[in-house]
Amino acid sequence: MDYSLYLVTDRSLLPEGQVRRESVNQALVGGATVVQIREKKADTGGGKQFLEVAQQSKSLCDLYGVHLIINDHVDIALAVGAAGVHLGQSDMPIDIARKLMPTGTVIGISCNTVEEVRRAREANADYVGLGAVWDTQTKKLDKSPIGVRGLSDMLDALDGSDVRAVAIGGIKTTNLARLMHGSVSPTNRMLDGVAIVSDIVASPDPKKAAQTLKSIFSACRQSTLLPLARQPLRSRETILDKALEIMNAVRKLNPLVHQVCIEFLPHTFNFEVRLSKITNTVVSTQSANVTLAMGASPIMATAPEEMADLANISAALLINIGTLQSETLKGMLKAGHCANSARIPIVLDPVGVGASAFRKDSVNKLLDIWHPTVIKGNAGELAALAGSNEATSKGVDSQGQLQNPVQFVRDFARKERCVVALTGEIDFISDGVRVFALKNGDPLLARVTGSGCMLGSCIASYCAAANLLTKAGDFLSATIGAILMMTIASELAAKRATVNGPATFVPALIDEVAALGAESIMERARIEQIE
């Protein structure tokens, strides 16, 4: 059975003038591969109305050779000879339904937790409906949405089984790509399909809606699978060559890098807000200057209204949550969504994410809407994001150590499906398969504010150039190159006769970034491929 575009019906959502049968017919023409009859209003008609709807739908699906599934009602599935039934957690147990239905009947069950997926697997379900992924207007949810990032553990629980998986809840043409990118298990198990109600049923053009959903699904399924396993190990020279190519490309192409890291002027001026504003203005000036020194071009903007325009002219987006406010969060949500649509890389710098519930909830919201290309953070920040308490945050600084940073960074990159840079005395960078350790950098970097934020700007600029160089940008090399550039520049800056401490160090650092040559990088890079 092809689960890829799984239509779930709901008459109450039909636009005015649309009739149920024609809506399903259009969805089938548009490419729906399974139809589930879920008619909650007809449910109350003593079963007769539901039966009629099911009979009509069966003949329609037969015309297209598409399987029909009945929601909840085993008797109706039997009566119309449906291919299967979909059961909820509080409906008839799978083993009883199996006894009642003919051999070969498809039985699916809704799951909201990993435990429910395990039980479904043990009960020999044919497929699971994982949801709700996002909030939905179609029904009142009795459990919180699981979010895209909750799906990979559920898919992992199906590893080694034949149980198929579809996601449901709030899925639309506008967020399907994010869903597909994020819902892959560590062993590369993906969704077999997406179950959609309102985006098709409530659409004025159900055929077009189905076509669009199906083409996004197919394109994402083909391109989502990590090409990681095929990536060869690389020698120090190969990776440095690539990093230098990207460094030169930044200087030559002068990519525009959109950086969402300064806040609106606060409406109320209390002492704390002013402090964070002052700190961040300093940091954003430095970030903008280092971007220019590298040869890229910064634009700092936060207003949601201009995000779509900026995504079309920028070559990369940097999201830095250093001075997060509710208003900026809206801009960040929109900016990331537009950047994903425009296929430009996004670098996420989750500054101090472990410091407050607001920051953590906000980053989770962001990552539920768009996917980053690179996440860069210190041990405390990345541990907070990964749900580990091995390291913690003291404000924006990190406390404690990760016991096994190599494994951590690899697993986290694999889970988030992006490049992860774990910064510290040794920087670890991984794409989920390979792990590199970089040992450059002067201790003065840790003694000035905003060096981490400047590094975020460097990574974003390098990712921009990597993306401009080739369609499938080499973001691992871009991240490594940017860190090498910044850390080696810091070593050279610290040696300058004019540098007497942190205050004189920052301008010297920016000068060194501007002047850095290939020879210094080749000569000084302390890089090791660990895995």
Ligand X SMILES: Cc1nc(C(=O)O)sc1CCOP(=O)(O)O
Catalytic residue numbers, as ranges: 453
Q: Which does 166 bind (CB under 5 to 8 A by kind): ligand LCLJCK34, ligand X, none?
A: ligand LCLJCK34
φ/ψ bin of 147: left (φ > 0), alpha (ψ from -120 to 50), beta (otherwise): left
Strand 397-399, strand 392-394: pairing: antiparallel
Binding region for ligand X (CB under 6 A) out of 52-60, 194-202, 315-323, 423-431: 194-202
Q: Is 428 helix (H, G, I), strand (E, B) or coil?
A: strand
Q: Using the rule CB under 6 A, is 53 a contact of ligand LCLJCK34?
A: no
Beta bridge partners of 36: 8, 69
Count of Cβ atoms closer than 10 Å to residue 248 Cβ: 14
C-alpha distances out from residue 453 to 262, 291, 419, 483, Å: 11, 11, 17, 12
Residue from 138, 287, 320, 340 in contact with ligand X (CB under 6 A): 138
Q: The tokens of 285 are what?
A: 């000036």
Q: Using the rule CB under 6 A, is 197 a contact of ligand X?
A: yes
Instruction: Establish how many alpha carbons lie within 13 A of residue 160's alpha carbon, considering only the half-sphere containing its beta carbon.
Output: 3
User: Rounded to the nearest whole angstrom, what is the least distance from the CB of residue 1 to ligand X in the complex?
Assistant: 19
Q: Using the rule CB under 6 A, is 385 a contact of ligand X?
A: no
Q: Using the rule CB under 6 A, is 32 a contact of ligand X?
A: no
Residue of closest CB approach to ligand LCLJCK34: 129
Binding region for ligand LCLJCK34 (CB under 6 A) out of 84-92, 142-150, 260-268, 464-472: 84-92
Give the whole-angstrom CA distance, residue 124 versus residue 385: 34
Residue from 31, 108, 131, 345 in contact with ligand X (CB under 6 A): 131
Q: Which does 402 bind (CB under 5 to 8 A by kind): ligand LCLJCK34, ligand X, none?
A: none
Q: Using the rule CB under 6 A, is 93 a contact of ligand LCLJCK34?
A: no
Residue number, 78 or 446, with CB nearest to ligand LCLJCK34? 78
Of residues 100-119, those binding ligand LCLJCK34 (CB under 6 A): 108, 110
Task: List the x/- string, 13-42, binding to ligand LCLJCK34 by CB under 6 A.
Answer: -----------------------x-x----
Hey, CA dihedral for 461, 411, 423, 517, is it positive or negative?
Answer: negative
Strand 527-529, strand 435-438: pairing: antiparallel
User: Rounded to the nearest whole angstrom, what is the least distance from the CB of residue 161 to ligand X in the complex?
Assistant: 20
Angle, vertex CA 163, rays to CA 159 and CA 165, nearest 5: 90
Residue number, 129 or 452, with CB nearest to ligand X? 129
C-alpha distances out from residue 174 to 180, 302, 334, 361, 393, Å: 12, 21, 12, 22, 35
Rounded CA Rg of the chain? 26
Q: Using the rule CB under 6 A, is 170 a contact of ligand LCLJCK34?
A: no
Give the whole-angstrom CA distance, residue 487 versus residue 525: 9
Q: The tokens of 157 are what?
A: 């629980």
Residue number, 4 or 110, with CB nearest to ligand X? 110
Q: Using the rule CB under 6 A, is 164 a contact of ligand LCLJCK34?
A: no
Q: Using the rule CB under 6 A, is 129 a contact of ligand LCLJCK34?
A: yes
Q: Using the rule CB under 6 A, is 9 a contact of ligand X?
A: no
Q: Using the rule CB under 6 A, is 354 a contact of ligand LCLJCK34?
A: no
Residue from 86, 121, 214, 417 in contact with ligand LCLJCK34 (CB under 6 A): 86
Give the whole-angstrom CA distance, residue 434 versus residue 341: 27
Q: Using the rule CB under 6 A, is 171 a contact of ligand X?
A: yes
Residue from 81, 88, 93, 395 in contact with ligand LCLJCK34 (CB under 6 A): 88
Q: Using the rule CB under 6 A, is 166 a contact of ligand LCLJCK34?
A: yes
Q: Using the rule CB under 6 A, is 287 a contact of ligand LCLJCK34?
A: no
Give the whole-angstrom CA distance, residue 104 versus residue 204: 36
Count of Cβ atoms closer than 10 Å to residue 39 Cβ: 21
